[in-house]
Copies of this chain bind each other. A is one copy, B any other.
Amino acid sequence: MKKEPILIVNEKELMDNIPLDEVLIEEIEKGFVALSEGKATVPPIMMIPVPQRDGEVDIKSAFVHTMDLMAVKIASGFFENPDLGLPSQSGQMLVLSTVTGMLHGVLLDNGYLTQIRTAAAGAIAAKYFAKKTIHTVGVFGSGVQARYQMEALALVRRFERIVMFSLDPPERKQAFVDDMKERLNVEVIVAENGADLVAASDVVVTTTPSRKAYFSPEWVKKGLHITCMGSDAEDKQELYADVFRKADVIACDLLSQSTRLGELRAVKEAGIITDFSSVREIGQVISGTKSGRQSDDEVTICDLTGVGVQDTMVAMLAYTLAKNKGLGISI
């Protein structure tokens, strides 16, 4: 066997060539199934705080046992960077062979692959839990991930309208409206408040980094599906824990992690659920071991925190596509 050359692919090439599409969704689904079947090794996240710069470097990885490649993701968040004229977030993924341990690829994606693998998980949640026929999608937040979530959702459900609520300044909200109209060819409305947003929506996606719950249990109505993807840390929360009392079906990406970092943390702490065996992992629903939505009246919630298998699956797909398309440089 000859040593494989190392393929280095930059952010622009990845953004131009690795789309958020059905192929990606399918790969991420495979990762979730492997995770729920115990066929993935996911070590604890390595976190290196750099407090003097309000920064942190996080390292995630996952080995999916049936795959011949795996990813190691190194992601940085340094919140004084904007003062230096640089983005807060940066990052890259290494692609290693699970046959030889050797480095095959360096994906200088600067977080792009994380954005699309996160959005793909949102699409998967809607695919299994949202009603088949929907008209309006609500989204809390008007940032980059809010847009990717809407694009991902459009891959699994048709809808005619987006209702958005956000605390961002008017020009950022307008940019979201213009961007979504153009990309998805749907009506885009800015809601006055959260209650109005939920009242108008069949599916709601929460994408904010809120550290204080804002989603009220009174807003919940028959047939609603909520995908929560904002909370991914112990101090984050978007939904009041009581919202979960109204749910007929509760799902998450990885139970052990969602009850620690996701919305389910507050639910657990408040004692709203004591027996978590009824909470299903999305991988169990994809594989058919557990059910998704059973009727149009059910209220469903899926709590996503982001798992290493998503990184491994998106990195493997990106590396393979880049290699086949002749992108990047080989060393």
Q: A41-B48, A48-B63 are in contact. Are A102 and B86 (CB under 8 A)?
A: yes
Q: A59-B59, A85-B1, A86-B1 are in contact. Are A49 and B41 (CB under 8 A)?
A: yes
Cβ A96 vs Cβ B74 within 8 A: yes
Cβ proximity bits A81-111 to B, threshold 8 Å, 1 near / 0 not: 1001110001010101011111100101000
Cβ proximity bits A60-80 to B, threshold 8 Å, 1 near / 0 not: 010101000010101011100
Interface residues of A in 223-257 (CB under 8 A from B): none
Cβ B98 vs Cβ A53 within 8 A: yes
Cβ B100 vs Cβ A108 within 8 A: no
**Which of the 9-residue segments A3-11, A23-31, A153-161, A274-282 touches chain B?**
A3-11
Cβ B63 vs Cβ A46 within 8 A: no
List 12 interface pairs A-B (beta carbons < 8 Å), by A numbering. A6-B108, A44-B46, A46-B61, A50-B98, A53-B100, A76-B101, A76-B102, A78-B100, A81-B100, A90-B103, A329-B329, A329-B331
Min CB–CB distance A40 → chain B (angstroms): 11
In Å, the complex CA distance between A111 and B214 comes to 50
Give the interface centre of A10, A44, A86, A329 by most chain B CB atoms within 10 Å. Answer: A86
A326 within 8 A of B: no
A47 within 8 A of B: yes
Min CB–CB distance A73 → chain B (angstroms): 11
A191 within 8 A of B: no
Min CB–CB distance A3 → chain B (angstroms): 6
A57 within 8 A of B: yes
A55 within 8 A of B: yes
What chain B residues lie within 8 Å of A61 (beta carbons)?
Answer: 46, 48, 57, 59
What chain B residues lie within 8 Å of A81 (beta carbons)?
Answer: 100-101
Point out the residue from B10, B47, B90 that lies within 8 Å of A102, measured CB to CB.
Answer: B90
A43 within 8 A of B: yes
Point out the residue from B1, B57, B106 that lies within 8 Å of A106, measured CB to CB.
Answer: B106
Not counting A52-B65, A78-B99, a sample of 18 additional A-B residue pairs whose C-beta atoms are within 8 angstroms of each other reads: A1-B85, A6-B108, A41-B48, A43-B46, A43-B47, A46-B46, A46-B61, A48-B61, A50-B63, A53-B100, A53-B101, A55-B101, A72-B74, A74-B94, A76-B101, A103-B108, A329-B329, A329-B331
In Å, the complex CA distance between A101 and B49 comes to 10
What chain B residues lie within 8 Å of A100 (beta carbons)?
Answer: 53, 55, 76, 78, 81, 84, 86, 90
Give the residue name and chain of the B residue nearest to A62 (CB): B48
Min CB–CB distance A106 → chain B (angstroms): 6
In Å, the complex CA distance between A55 and B78 comes to 34
Interface residues of A in 307-331 (CB under 8 A from B): 329, 331
In Å, the complex CA distance between A61 and B90 comes to 18
Cβ A43 vs Cβ B48 within 8 A: yes
Min CB–CB distance A12 → chain B (angstroms): 11
9 shortest A-B CB distances, which residue pairs? A76-B101, A78-B101, A1-B84, A90-B102, A46-B46, A43-B46, A55-B101, A48-B63, A78-B100
